[in-house]
Chain A
Amino acid sequence: MADKLRAQQQLEQLQARYIGTTHPDTTKFEWTSNIMRDSYASYVGHQPLLHYMAIGYGEPKEKIRAFFLNKMIQPVGKPPEVQE
């Protein structure tokens, strides 16, 4: 019982610190949003990768960067309606 409680507390702490961590009740929306955001963050963070993608798209690097950053806003659309 105590272990369960501690595990629960640890999980809560973990989630407070790392937004992308999951728990057994993570919804598809949350999970996919995090995947997308992490992906875009990763592209933007790795300069060579960004450069590569920019060449592939045939766009300036800065434009691609801005595009990725903008995509991070609601990357998988609007959150689902909360059902009462």
Chain B
Amino acid sequence: MSDADFERIKRLQQERNAQKGLKSFDTAAKATNSAKASLTENFDTAVYGRDGDDKFAGYNKSIAVNGGPDDDDDHEMGDFDDTRRLVGQYTASRAQIDEFANTGRDDDMITSREKQAQIASRESDYQKRRFDRGPLTPTRADPFAENVQNGTRYRDTMASRELEREEARVQKLIADKQTNGELTHKEHKPTLKEDTSDKENAQAGSTVDAASGAGRKRKQRWDIPAADSTPTEDTTKKRSRWDVTAAPDEEAAPSRRSRWDMAPAVGGETPRVAQGLATPAHPSQAGVVSFGTDVSARNAPLSDEDLDFLLPGEKEGYKILEPPPGYEPLRVSVRRTVPTPSAAAGASGYGGFMMQEPETIQALGKQLPTNIPGVGELPFFKPEDMTYFGKLFDGADENDLSVEELKERKIARLLLKVKNGTPSQRKSSLRSLTDSAKAFGAGPLFNQILPLLMEKSLEDQERHLLVKVIDRILWKLSEDVRPYVHRILVVIEPLLIDQDYYARVEGREIISNLAKAAGLATMISTMRPEIDHADEYVRNTTARAFAVVASALGISSLLPFLRAVCRSKKSWHARHTGVKIVQQIAILVGAACLPNLPALIDCIAANLSDEQAKVRTVTSLAIAALAEACSPYGIESFDPILNPLWTGARKQRGKGLAGYLKAIGYIIPLMDEEYANYYTSQIMEIVIREYASADEEMKRICCQVTISINRANGITPMYLREHVVDEFFKAFWVKRTALDRRILRSVVDTTIDLAQKVGGAEIVERLWPHLKEENEPYRKMTVETIEKIIASLGTADFGERLEEHLIDGMLFAFQEQTVEDPVLLNGFGTLVNALGERMKPYFPQVVSTMLFRLGHRTPVCRQQSADLISRTVKTLARCGEDDLVIKLGQVLYEYLGEEYPEVLGSILGALRSIVACVRIDQMQPPIKDLLLRVAPILRNRHEKVQENAIDLVGRIAEFAPTAVGSKEMVRIGWEMTEMLKAHKKGIRRAANNTFGYIAKAIGPSDVLAVLLSQLRVSERQSRVCAAVAIAIVAEACGPFSTLPVLMNEYRTPELNVRTGTLKALSFLTEYIGELSKDYVYALIPLLEDALTDRDQVHRQSSANIISHLGTTLAGLGCEDAMVHLLSLLWPNIFETSPHVIDRVIDAINGIRQSVGTGIIMNYTLAGLFSPARKVRQPYHRIYNLMYVQSADSMIPYYPELGEEFYARPELDVVI
């Protein structure tokens, strides 16, 4: 090591020491002091000594190879590990762990469903950090309001954030020390010698008291006052016991809140309990306090009188101090006074022995009420709800309550109904909450809603409903929400990183509404303090929220702010968040960021050369996101950053480089071809070098960059063949790739993409050897890739050798599979079909394999084989191997006794494809035998069997109508009526089609008899399907064969039959289209009767028929019939039932198509300005529809209004 290097490292070490305050000699000294040697790092240091104090000195720590807590990639939230290692850790990748973590959850039978429904139980640790932010942050003052209310000012918030950052810094120092083992020996020191203030600080976990022994005067916890002034400062701030009973109406700005007030467990803010929110403890959970065990009186706070009595007063020269400004007593203790002792006594048993009292058992078994006073019966009521809605049970007289309390109760009731109520309760409560939002006021509403949203046992449905409530009231409240913006954001921001897509959308919607209601200035002033928040979680969510605000209020309005943040000199956190906002904007708005692209890039350009590695990385990722979003435009905006990006990519290593590569990879497709060529050849060197990287992330990005460059025309197939393909295969087509699903996907995609450029044969040539690897997932991956390449590029360029190898490899992979996988089935099927006639020499082998596997003992194997037959048999027939097809048919016929329904279904499917491609007279067994064998299978209850069996019957009826007697067919038709009420749509559809084929084969009369009988049954499903089937029969055999039967059937005096007939007619008119021209006049008497019937369904169905007739017969000369029908139809416009009125309006629209606008206009004008509103209303609806659809054709038909103003003399011009 040269002297210069030595000097440099020494200087770096010193800097780091100054920063971290580490004293290595100290640690060594302490370690030797202890009697037992603890096996910590210190031990090493003590034994072996160390000349530097930082063992990582000399290693470049600025590049986070494995990612720090600030992981910038969006897909990898929480995918980090904190420890730095010098050697690689051989363990499952994060993706794998996550994968198994997810699959394992569903299998867990012990976890109750209820638990699974809860959002909190599904969240990752990172997402759970939302609970670290208090439920109710203080309200903010609204500087835009006319009279500024009390609330935290911007300055106060900034100050408190500053404080938090400082605290986090110190906490981190302490944590560092503790991990280094420096604080472990504290308790052996004599406490009396310690400074008392220090001792307290140590308990609060706030001071670096280790430093006190260091001999050097350390900075104190609050670095504002000088060290010597600390004692006096402390006494003034010291908590006095009077504060416990401080008046609750004390409302001071909580700036500079003293740390004394903080509950030790809570991380962020002091949980201030808002006034009126101190809900009583759960009465149900409190249990019954048995006699003599209630110690609450003893634990109750002392009153002022008690204190005056106990302590010396002013006469003795003492003074009662005022509570320090900003101090707020913890109300929690007050709330807990009653339940805590009894719970402790009951649950953990240290309250002494206690006999179980009978009433206690009763109390434990007490059901939670579902009938809430003033609310009514609710579907459910959870114990957690008691916390929030308990006050509804206290039975207070409403007359004694103040207006505020009444309001609060009203809100609570409405919210409870929204959250737990039935849909109708929910609907009406939601509406009344919305309508009276202004009257309730923002404060009381949000004070109740927001804590509910932070409840740990919240479920998806509840969250959705509450979010909906917020959404609705935001609109109504508009600028009244300003003081509560931060509170709402704290609760809503976590939605932005939820796993559930709809939750994210919901969160975005709320935040954008909030931004519109509160205005940009409020949003910025509220979120500004969070931008350099100490907690990464807060910064991340804030960046996402800012992106939403930008998309809601326009990116350009946010630009000045963004520019300032991205250039912040004060903290790199702010710059990091600023760049992240830009990234999120790009992801969120996509191509809509194009107009602001130059400005956005200008914002973040300087950050590419930031001194912080994390900022550089996130900047490159943001650029990648921008380039991806605005592709294929906007290259000129990227010009200024190309150079830094370029030089940066050459300098970087590790994670930083990954981001740079990604950015360049996305920018190159935007470039002109010649530029792209140049940059590509340069970047590919680096990409190819990084192919060999061990980092999964890097590998994925390399794949991504290869794809995007490949698509950018910047690269010739020649270049790819010579430089890329070999390297790519060497690095990625190894067995290890198949283990990680994410890398597998990228490799498969990239390979397919390369194949598009260099040709399928070139790639498949390299792939086939992998088909015979012993690693099954790897074989599968290969098959999948080959399948996709063949599917998109075909096999025209495959040589004979390659063909042989490929078939051989595929057969091997197919036979050797241990778990039957659709991938192999698809792969083989695609290959066979793509090769087509070239498959001929290989078919004997393939067929024998299929036959062998058809008799295999595992059902999945048989099923797969049958599926393969149904896919390949067409090609088999094309190769002229009819004998083989027939042989397969014979074997399959023998296997029809299969007991596994899944397999049977596949066998039937295979038979169907055979029937479709072989000559019927050659079929073995004879088609009649096959049909007779299949008929009983129709009774099988399994859906797959049913569907395939019906399909097979349909095919037989279609291809061999004469092969089977009509009696047999009718019998099968009767069997199939059962299927008309199947749950699966595919079965019903197959049955309907088959009815059509059968009718075509044997004539409509018998089939119609079967179907008409189905109109009489009670299930609606059957009737509807029969109606559809009748229409299909009519379409297949011509309407003249069906219509008379239907019209005759309509005369049956039975409601179901008549409506069924009408329904059949409506499908019929829809299916036969213009053919109905010949039948309109025949239909008119029937329609007249139906339109004048009392029954609504009659009129509805006939209106449906008319709308089909009207639309299909436009211009076919049936206007007289249409006008006649219109006259009968018109009175129905006053129907109120939504189904009926919709059909009627449709019918009028349909008639308008054939008779033109004028006649309808005539009808409409009659009632458009009727004095009765009830009459006007439907007329206006018709008028509007007409106006929307054919406004122009209405012009000639507007009425003459008879006044000079309204005259349209232009229309009277005659030449």
Contacts and interface: CB of A to CB of B under 8 A. Distances in A.
A72 interface: no
A24 B1176 contact: yes
Contact of A43 (B427, B1168, B1210, B1215): B1210
Contacts of A36: 1206, 1208
Contacts of A22: 1168, 1180, 1183-1184, 1187
Contacts of B1177: 24
Contact of A18 (B1187, B1198, B1205): B1187
Interface string A4-40: 0000000100100010111110100000100110110
Contacts of B1215: 52, 55-56
Given A18-B1187, A22-B1184, A23-B1180, A39 B1208 contact: yes
Looking at B1138, B1192, B1195, B1210, which has the most chain A CB atoms within 10 Å of its CB? B1210
A53 interface: yes
Contacts of A18: 1184, 1187-1188
Contacts of A3: 1138
A32 B585 CA distance: 47
Interface residues of B, number: 25
B1162 to A, nearest CB: 16
Given A2-B427, A53-B1210, A53-B1213, A76 B1205 contact: yes
B1201 interface: yes
B310 interface: no
B741 interface: no
A42 to B, nearest CB: 5
B1191 interface: yes
Looking at A21, A45, A76, which has the most chain B CB atoms within 10 Å of its CB? A21
Contacts of A48: none
B1173 interface: yes
B1195 A52 contact: no
Contacts of A42: 1192, 1195
B39 to A, nearest CB: 70
B1174 to A, nearest CB: 9
B694 interface: no
B1180 A24 contact: yes
A77 B1205 contact: yes
Contacts of B427: 2
B1 interface: no
A21 B1187 contact: yes
Nearest to A46: B1192
B1201 A32 contact: yes
B1206 A32 contact: yes
A14 B1195 CA distance: 20
A40 to B, nearest CB: 8
B87 interface: no
A14 B1184 contact: yes
Interface string B1175-1208: 0110010011001100110110010010001101
B1191 A20 contact: yes
Nearest to B1208: A39
B1198 A39 contact: yes
B1096 to A, nearest CB: 16
A66 to B, nearest CB: 14
Contacts of A14: 1184, 1188
Interface string B1150-1190: 00000000000000000010000100110010011001100
A57 B1213 contact: yes
Name the interface size band of chain A.
20 to 34
A38 B1214 contact: no
A20 B1213 contact: no
Given A22-B1184, A23-B1180, A57-B1213, A38 B1201 contact: no
B1213 A52 contact: yes
Nearest to A17: B1188
Looking at B1173, B1192, B1206, which has the most chain A CB atoms within 10 Å of its CB? B1206
A45 B1193 CA distance: 12
A29 B1138 CA distance: 32
A56 B1215 CA distance: 6
B1135 to A, nearest CB: 13
B969 to A, nearest CB: 47
Nearest to A3: B1138
Interface string A40-80: 00110100000011011100000000001000000011000
A16 to B, nearest CB: 13
A53 B1138 CA distance: 46
Nearest to B1211: A39
Contacts of B1206: 32, 35-36, 76
Nearest to B1192: A42
Contacts of A32: 1201, 1205-1206
Contacts of A76: 1205-1206
Contact of B1173 (A24, A35, A43, A55): A24
B1213 A38 contact: no
Given A42-B1195, A55-B1215, A77-B1205, A21 B1210 contact: no
B1180 A35 contact: no
Contacts of B1176: 24
A56 B1184 CA distance: 33
Contacts of B1168: 22
Interface string B426-468: 0100000000000000000000000000000000000000000
A18 B1192 CA distance: 13
Nearest to A42: B1195
Contacts of B1210: 39, 43, 53, 68
Nearest to A57: B1213
B1069 to A, nearest CB: 28
B1137 to A, nearest CB: 10
A53 B1194 CA distance: 19
B553 to A, nearest CB: 22
B1172 to A, nearest CB: 10
Nearest to B427: A2
A21 B1187 CA distance: 7
Contacts of B1187: 18, 20-22
Contacts of A2: 427
Contacts of B1194: 38
A26 B1173 CA distance: 11
A45 B1173 CA distance: 35
A21 to B, nearest CB: 4
Contact of B1195 (A23, A26, A38): A38
Given A14-B1188, A32-B1201, A76-B1205, A56 B1180 contact: no
A60 B238 CA distance: 95
Nearest to B1194: A38
A11 B1188 CA distance: 12
B844 to A, nearest CB: 66
A39 B1195 contact: yes
Contacts of B1188: 14, 18, 21
Contacts of A24: 1173, 1176-1177, 1180
Contacts of A43: 1210
A23 B1191 CA distance: 16
A80 B1194 CA distance: 26
Given A21-B1187, A24-B1173, A24-B1180, A56 B1195 contact: no
B166 to A, nearest CB: 52
A18 B1211 CA distance: 25
B867 to A, nearest CB: 47
11 contacts: A14-B1188, A21-B1183, A24-B1180, A26-B1180, A38-B1191, A38-B1195, A39-B1208, A42-B1195, A55-B1215, A56-B1213, A68-B1210
Given A18-B1187, A21-B1188, 7 more contacts: A22-B1168, A23-B1180, A26-B1180, A32-B1201, A38-B1191, A42-B1195, A56-B1214
Interface of A: 2-3, 11, 14, 18, 20-24, 26, 32, 35-36, 38-39, 42-43, 45, 52-53, 55-57, 68, 76-77
The 9 closest A-B pairs by CB, nearest first: A56-B1213, A21-B1184, A24-B1176, A42-B1195, A76-B1205, A35-B1198, A22-B1180, A24-B1177, A32-B1206
